[in-house]
Structure 1
Amino acid sequence: MANIINLDRVSKGYGAAGQLLTDVSLGLDDDARIGIVGLNGAGKSTLLRMLAKSEEPDSGRVTHRRDLRVASLPQSLTLAGEATVRDVVLGTAWLPQSMGAEHEWAGDAGVRTILDGLGMGYLGLDTPVGPMSGGERRRVALAALLVRESDLLILDEPTNHLDVAGVDWLAKHLLTRRGALLVVTHDRWFLDAVCTMTWEVVDEQVHTYEGGYAAWILARAERQRVAASIEARRQNLLRKEIAWLRRGPPARTSKPKFRIDAANELIADVPPVRDQVSLQRLATTRLGKQVYDLETIELKAGPKPIFQDLTWQVGPGDRIAILGANGAGKTTLLRLLAGITEPAGGRLVTGSTVRPAFLSQELKELPGHLRLLEAVEEVAKRVKLGDRELSAGQLAEVFGFTDKRIWTPVSDLSGGERRRLQMLRLLATEPNVLLLDEPTNDLDTDTLASLEDLLDSWPGTMVVASHDRYLVERVTDKVFGMFGDGRLVHLPGGIDEYLARVTTPGAPGVPAKVSAGSSPAASGLSTGELRQAKKDLARLERQMEKLSDREARINESLAEHGSDYDKLVELEAQLKAVQQEKAETEEAWLELAEQVSES
């Protein structure tokens, strides 16, 4: 290992956004594979730009090894409209001259392999980029980086605009690539598949963790547990000091003055509260027995046929994922269910009690001319949240918008904030059917976890079109695939079966052989048993969360009743029982998880 980049006491801030990084010191080795996570606006992209030396810090120093070759994919890029795929991928129409042209690649099948892997196999090298969509342009730019050798590859949201198969291909390709890798992405599965270290950008600092997303979550949870334990002890001591102060005017001696100073220090030592997002379940309208019945449906997107003779049923409580390549028609199907698009033929019957909410990709329905609070009040001024009734301002606070942000114009919000506002407005209508088109776009990992927690307990019906493998496997029970053959195919094997079908030669609608490593039978579980095992895993996870909450509440009670011996004995017995049940539940979860992982 050799060091290639160093950050020495680097600080960076902007007028409107405030201070993002303060006195950050980091080193990067030549074989590092690092995922960068953090809340939207924490400074992840700023950190990448400084590492690439495309932006200078306000103070501190960034040093590169001599002749270091850095290839960087930013979040936003501009390609000349008259340029062709050949100019971008093989020339220097986008990349700086220092990256060099790769004309020797022109006859190499490697270029076609990369374009195929990114879902761009239909493009010719002479195709102009001007008429392309933003997603296509971004994938062409990514291909330009992947065909070149570099010492450090920096990718900012590389999985945006890639389908499930594209994300899977990119992960495998990066694992075989030499050199260091820095990636910012909200795709948790991708982070686990590719990265061996995680940097968390939080509170103007960068914390480092060994391992990918799962390891980071565990390490952060342990850090928060320790911090909570310290805070609980501090609060208990604070209660005693305040009780002492309330006993009456302290005598003018050194001892009472010491006690007053100690109490003031405890009060002043309260750490700042981080802006955590808590998406809690809103009220839903009662859902009847019938949701959607599609009978011999013919559906088109403009002149392009999507479905022919589709018969399909969506029932109450169904949790369905729709997978397919970009352009397969997933959005068109959701728009049909939402009542926005009419079928070209056949019959769609919607239940009389169905109250759908459609989350689109484009965010066009957000009123950019209004302020955030006004945008919420436009939908509902008061809403039910559990057993509470909240005003629009209180609801915005539940969704992580502070008092300062609620008066921000919608047009000035970040992409993640606009996405969160869009979800807030939808849920405020009290729907009983959620139709979600790429709901994880632009959301940071903490907001994603909160969103998944909300969807996990959603009492209505849910149909999700998503390339986010982590989300699909957590919150849905049924998976259907769209392979461009006019049919909607049920996939009992989930995403593994989908990937096996799209990578197996032959007609995608025909059941393909699943590789031995991903076959349910390989672990002795049938398809039905595997599906049930995954549901049992989710149930056990929820049970462990509840037991952890009970354990925390009992520990709080122990601190409160420190002088009540009888109460302490009772609480200790309860704590022991909860810890025993938690250990048994964890053991059951581990055994079941091993069976599922082998499948």
Structure 2
Amino acid sequence: MLLSGEQLTKTYGTRTLLDGVSFYVDRGDKVGVIGVNGTGKSTLLRLLAGAEEPDEGTVRPDPNVRLEYLPQNPVFPGERTVLEQVLAGLSDDDRVLAEYEAKTILNRLGVSRFDQKVGELSGGERRRVALAAVLARPSDVLILDEPTNHLDNDMVNWLEEELKAWKGALVMVTHDRYFLERIVTTMVEVEDGKLYTYPGNYDKYLERKAARLESEKASERKRQAILRREYQWVMQGPTARGTKSRERLERYEALKAQSGPAEKTSLELSARSSRLGKKTVELRGVTKSFGERTVLRNFDCMLLRDDRIGIVGANGSGKSTLLNLLAGKLAPDAGEIEVGETVRIGYFCQEVPDMDSDTRVIDYVKEIGNRIETAEGMLTATQLLEQFLFPAEVQWSPIRKLSGGEKRRLFLLSVLAAAPNVLLLDEPTNDLDIQTLSILEDYLDTFPGAVVAVSHDRYFLDRVVRRVFAVEPDGRVKGYPGGYTEYLEARQKEEKPKVPREPAPDKGKERPSAPPQKVKFTYKEQREYETIDADIAALEEQIKQVQGEQAAKATDYVALQELQVRQEELEAALEEKMERWVYLNDLAEQIAKQ
């Protein structure tokens, strides 16, 4: 056993986050920790890492175990250089071995100035330096709290491969469902102060949690049936009942005292927006520079009324700048941005705006309105907060008592409740739990307006968007149809080196060349040429049907995975047919010219 936490209890004020829980980490374990924001995921990691003491219980690391911990908000001295910070605390021998690895990892994470002072870095850069420090140091156990925050898509892909290959034990809090699907071997859910452990990855977790909840419901139905029967016996008259059995009375009282499984409130808000006219937002020749660096160059875009656009690119490439231009927070240096009269923009920006820490949660929502109109009717501020997983005791608490994820969820509530018809989302998956993300994705399915999202969350992009804009290093923006997976495949094809054809050998001029032979179809090619258009149309129709099934089964992750595999097979077959179509049509043109 590399690390154990036994009977851990942690309370903040009147709120018990962990209530006598135990957690064990063995060699080779890769554990994903999930749960609704504010339930104690980060607290559990801090206790395991020794960054905080439990109120009760003990944490026991093996004396020979080397442990590295990435907190959600790392703090370190600002006077050190980047490289000094990564190597801080290492022995001379470890430092020599780690320095090359540290520089390699820093480069992969987009931090190339090793002699820059840490205090001069942005918040995202500091977090990437902290991640590099954890990965570069020799260790047996990695404890990572939201390791993908502030990484771009390429960095996330790289980190996934690193953690897949990691030989030590891993415990991480993450909302990245591809990480949970492809890396972890055990899922742990924090809920109501307890830990629920599920062997397997995210897919197995969904399956096994559904089975657990169904079992709990079946047990409760049985308890209620026995309770009704015992109640009838207790209420019988003394003559009919005879002498009461003390044991039976005690069993009745015990059954009555039991509580069944609590019905969980789920974040569920029907999409609401104001009317959007024909004219939305149009960008024509938009260019934006900061100093000598051009982050957007001559960009044209017409936002469709039901668009679902994902924006990807390296950190600092101009993704958030593009959203700020769309939101009217920045003016272009060149070009025009025209916004329709009916456009009402909701901007869920990366940084939560300042909230008065003394304001109560319910008062913050009442500033939007005491009553909010939804598809189901009017909701009070209290009802709206309950739908967003804020129970009554939290609603009357000051905002300062909320966790970072809860503040972000409250901010999301305020954006959606204002009924926008164009949604701009800048890294919407940062600090949001998986349950909130799943419901947000369902919300966007029914949202009648346009959505533009900057995100490094590959699952979210695959689930939500229908086209991807990639912001290139030179400021140009390139569009790709489909979600993130389709974008990645297209980019890999673009980067694949083309093999040059060898020139035909020079036969010399000493003798006349033979007359060229006429080109013609073989029998098989002729038949294929006559039917290939119909074959392509059939494949396209099958892909459309699979995509429709995916939309219908958006919350069935097992079915979604099977449908995704089917879609990939169909798209591969379609691509092969298209290549064949090009060849056959070129051949047909040559035949026609003879």
TM-score (norm 1): 0.80
Partner of 1:59: 56
- Alignment check: 8 A CA contact 1:533 1:596 kept: no
For structure 2, the 5+ residue unaligned runs are: 499-535, 573-594
Query: Deviation at 1:493?
Result: 5.4
Query: Deviation at 1:465?
Result: 0.8
Query: Deviation at 1:133?
Result: 0.8
Instruction: Please state whether the residue corresponding to 1:55 is helix, strand or coil.
Output: coil
Distance 1:317 1:39, change over 3 A: same
Query: Deviation at 1:59?
Result: 3.2
Q: Which has the larger radius of gyration?
A: 2
Matches within 5 A, 1:484-523: 484-492=473-481, 494-496=483-485, 498-499=487-488, 511-513=494-496
Which segment drifts farther, 193-202 or 536-545?
536-545
Q: Which amino acid aligns with 1:103?
A: V
CA displacement, residues 311-354 of structure 1 (integer Å, 9 cap, x when unaligned): 11111111111111211111111122122222222122222221
CA displacement, residues 422-447 of structure 1 (integer Å, 9 cap, x when unaligned): 11111221111111111121112222
Distance 1:184 1:292, change over 3 A: same
Q: Do structure 1's residue 14 and structure 2's residue 11 form an aligned pair? A: yes
Q: Do structure 1's residue 116 and structure 2's residue 107 form an aligned pair? A: yes
Which segment drifts farther, 258-267 or 179-188?
258-267
d(CA) in 2 for partners of 1:366, 1:11: 33
Partner of 2:463: 474
Partner of 1:552: none
Distance 1:24 1:86, change over 3 A: same
Q: Do structure 1's residue 103 and structure 2's residue 103 form an aligned pair? A: no
d(CA) in 2 for partners of 1:190, 1:339: 35
Distance 1:255 1:196, change over 3 A: farther
d(CA) in 1 for partners of 2:206, 2:14: 27
Matches within 5 A, 1:557-572: none
Query: Deviation at 1:359?
Result: 0.6
Query: Deviation at 1:380?
Result: 1.6
Q: Do structure 1's residue 540 and structure 2's residue 537 form an aligned pair? A: no
Matches within 5 A, 1:389-400: 389-400=378-389
d(CA) in 1 for partners of 2:347, 2:168: 43
Query: Deviation at 1:205?
Result: 2.4
d(CA) in 1 for partners of 2:266, 2:93: 45
Q: Which amino acid aligns with 1:143?
A: A
d(CA) in 1 for partners of 2:355, 2:541: 43
Paired residue total: 531
Matches within 5 A, 1:237-316: 250=237, 253-254=240-241, 267-271=256-260, 273=262, 276-301=265-290, 304-316=293-305
Partner of 2:508: none
Q: Which amino acid aligns with 2:279?
A: Q
Partner of 1:380: 369
Partner of 1:142: 131
d(CA) in 2 for partners of 1:203, 1:371: 23
d(CA) in 2 for partners of 1:367, 1:231: 43
Instruction: Please state whether the residue corresponding to 2:495 is helix, strand or coil.
Output: coil
d(CA) in 2 for partners of 1:527, 1:321: 26
Q: Which amino acid aligns with 1:345?
A: A
Matches within 5 A, 1:565-580: none
Partner of 1:370: 359
Query: Deviation at 1:253?
Result: 4.8
d(CA) in 2 for partners of 1:42, 1:191: 19
- Alignment check: 8 A CA contact 2:441 2:464 kept: yes
CA displacement, residues 473-531 of structure 1 (integer Å, 9 cap, x when unaligned): 112222221122222211235323544677x6xxxxx943499xxxxxxxx99996797
d(CA) in 2 for partners of 1:543, 1:26: 29
- Alignment check: 8 A CA contact 2:550 2:563 kept: no
Q: Which amino acid aligns with 2:241?
A: S
Query: Deviation at 1:84?
Result: 0.7
Distance 1:514 1:4, change over 3 A: farther
Distance 1:486 1:32, change over 3 A: same
Q: Which amino acid aligns with 1:593?
A: Q
Distance 1:231 1:395, change over 3 A: same
Q: Which amino acid aligns with 1:540?
A: A
Query: Deviation at 1:171?
Result: 1.0
Instruction: Please state whether the residue corresponding to 1:102 is helix, strand or coil.
Output: helix
TM-score (norm 2): 0.81
Query: Deviation at 1:29?
Result: 1.5
CA displacement, residues 3-34 of structure 1 (integer Å, 9 cap, x when unaligned): 22233x42222242633333333432111111
Q: Do structure 1's residue 25 and structure 2's residue 14 form an aligned pair? A: no
d(CA) in 2 for partners of 1:324, 1:441: 16
Partner of 1:596: 567
Partner of 2:175: 186
Distance 1:17 1:72, change over 3 A: farther
- Alignment check: 8 A CA contact 1:500 1:514 kept: no
Which segment drifts farther, 315-324 or 65-74?
65-74
**Which of 378, 384, 391 is equivalent to 1:402?**
391
Q: Which amino acid aligns with 1:355?
A: R
- Alignment check: 8 A CA contact 1:10 1:58 kept: no
d(CA) in 1 for partners of 2:225, 2:207: 27
CA displacement, residues 124-143 of structure 1 (integer Å, 9 cap, x when unaligned): 22121111011111111211
Query: Deviation at 1:449?
Result: 1.9
d(CA) in 2 for partners of 1:398, 1:465: 25
Distance 1:346 1:543, change over 3 A: same
Partner of 1:438: 427
d(CA) in 2 for partners of 1:591, 1:187: 20
Partner of 1:71: 68
Which segment drifts farther, 204-213 or 326-335?
204-213
Partner of 2:202: 213
d(CA) in 1 for partners of 2:489, 2:128: 23
Query: Deviation at 1:170?
Result: 0.6
Instruction: Please state whether the residue corresponding to 1:182 is helix, strand or coil.
Output: strand
What is the aligned-residue identity percentage? 39
